[in-house]
């Protein structure tokens, strides 16, 4: 058992104390977005009350302080990911923009016939940008299959690698199945084949340590709101070698070195990828979130979530007519399920009346749903601040749903 006082930790998250339809809230939609601790709320409040200013451009005190604080968070992210250089950390608006940035910029080097390899469990954000690149450049998209447990078929993955593979892009953790991919092994296979790699770490960053140097990945993306930070802020890690070669995607302020009507020269990385006024307050909030997570410790958080997952799996598996979708040997604290004869949207609506917040639908993974022959699932996704009592509340609510549809 973990030793942290999780009841005390829950006090850090004001939203956990609210009621819904007269019932105590059981928030089990953490894969969609996480609640924010007081430290993050205070960082946002402090910035807006005492530190509002644009960055990199002003010579007055407020601008200088805001610039220092902004760049300090870049350093904090570098340390959190164990990147080599601050220049390898680009602030974006989220994982989706980060992946699109790579596809748009790095993709300019791709040519017709080049291959891009992804997996069948990808979020739409790691499918559509590559499809768009294929349409622009004439590249070919390859997809590695998954088995009935929702695990990647490694033989299929290996067989799809070829001398035409330019980049392999895959999720570290499936948002709809919970599957934890062997990311280091996949990167090693891609590297041996001469391909670049991009890791979608949106669902991984709050649940496991990430060391980009140890992984040896070329790119990695995550969103702040998945790791108890604000929405509207994301990170793209990129190997400096490639960021220096890649052209900017957006034009405007801060990404330039000089501008004339005849020619514009660009700033160095990471600034050439951060055009315009960035999400400054959100960066401050992200910094506070990373400090908060580091203080608690990802290992302790992961241990707690493993306990919750084991309890939740046992509890839900005992409910008649319930089938868990995604039963990988290694999985994160995500419980996607279907109930016989009951549409997931009906399940979600009725659970809401019992104060239980889950996600229903295809979870932006329509190919996964097609693979399992279902239109959607109901998904309970857990964070370290959840409790066994909330899982019991979920189970009791599901029993009520079954009674309604009996």
Which residues are catalytic, by number? 364
In this structure, are residues 369 and 377 in contact, taking their beta carbons and an 8 Å threshold? yes
For 327, the token pair is 């039963």
Q: How many Cβ atoms are within 10 Å of 82's Cβ, its own excluded?
A: 14
Q: What is the DSSP string of 72-134?
A: HHHHHHHHHHT-S-GGGEEEESSHHHHHHHHHHHGGGG--TT-EEEEETT--GGGTHHHHHHH
Helix (H, G, I), strand (E, B) or coil at 236: strand
Please tell me the distance from the alpha carbon of residue 235 to that of residue 97, in angstroms, as a whole number.
9
Instruction: Give the integer Cα–Cα distance in Å for 248 and 259.
Output: 15
Which residues are within 8 A (CB) of 224 and not within 5 positions of it... i.e. 6 or more apart?
94, 230, 231, 232, 233, 234, 235, 282, 285, 286, 289
Task: Determine phi and psi for 119, rounding to 5 degrees.
Answer: -120, 165
């Amino acid at each position: 058992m973990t030793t942290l006082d999780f009841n005390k930790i829950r006090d850090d998250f004001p939203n956990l104390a609210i009621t819904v339809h007269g019932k105590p809230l059981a928030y089990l939609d953490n894969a969609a977005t996480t609640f924010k601790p007081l430290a993050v709320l205070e960082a946002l409040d402090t910035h807006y009350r005492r530190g509002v200013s644009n960055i990199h451009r002003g010579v007055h005190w407020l601008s200088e302080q805001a610039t220092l604080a902004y760049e300090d968070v870049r350093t904090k992210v570098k340390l959190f990911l164990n990147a080599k250089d601050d220049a390898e950390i680009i602030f974006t608006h989220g994982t989706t923009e980060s992946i699109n940035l790579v596809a748009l910029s790095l993709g300019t080097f791709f040519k017709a016939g080049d291959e891009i390899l992804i997996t069948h469990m990808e979020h739409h954000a790691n499918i559509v940008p590559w499809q768009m690149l294929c349409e622009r450049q004439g590249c070919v998209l390859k997809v590695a299959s998954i088995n009935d447990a929702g695990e990647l078929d490694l033989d299929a993955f290996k067989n799809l690698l070829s001398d035409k593979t330019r980049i392999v892009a895959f999720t570290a953790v499936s948002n709809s199945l919970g599957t934890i991919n062997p990311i280091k092994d996949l990167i090693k296979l891609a590297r041996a084949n001469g391909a670049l790699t991009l890791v979608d770490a949106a669902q991984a960053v709050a649940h496991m340590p990430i060391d980009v140097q140890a992984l040896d990945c070329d790119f990695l993306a995550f969103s702040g709101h998945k790791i108890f930070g604000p929405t509207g802020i994301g990170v793209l890690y990129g190997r400096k070698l490639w960021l220096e070669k890649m052209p900017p995607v957006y034009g405007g302020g801060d990404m330039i070195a000089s501008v004339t009507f005849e020619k514009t020269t660009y700033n160095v990385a990471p600034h050439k990828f951060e055009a315009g006024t960035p999400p400054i307050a959100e960066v401050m909030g992200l910094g506070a979130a990373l400090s908060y997570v580091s203080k608690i410790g990802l290992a302790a958080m992961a241990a707690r979530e493993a306990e919750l997952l084991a309890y939740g799996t046992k509890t839900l598996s005992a409910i008649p007519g319930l089938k868990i979708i995604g039963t990988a040997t290694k999985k994160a604290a995500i419980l996607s399920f279907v109930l016989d004869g009951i549409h997931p949207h009906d399940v979600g609506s009725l659970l809401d009346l019992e104060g239980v917040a889950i996600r229903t639908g295809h979870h932006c993974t329509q190919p996964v749903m097609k693979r399992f022959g279902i239109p959607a699932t109901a998904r309970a996704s857990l964070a370290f601040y959840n409790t066994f009592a909330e899982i019991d509340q979920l189970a009791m609510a599901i029993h009520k749903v079954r009674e309604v549809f009996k």
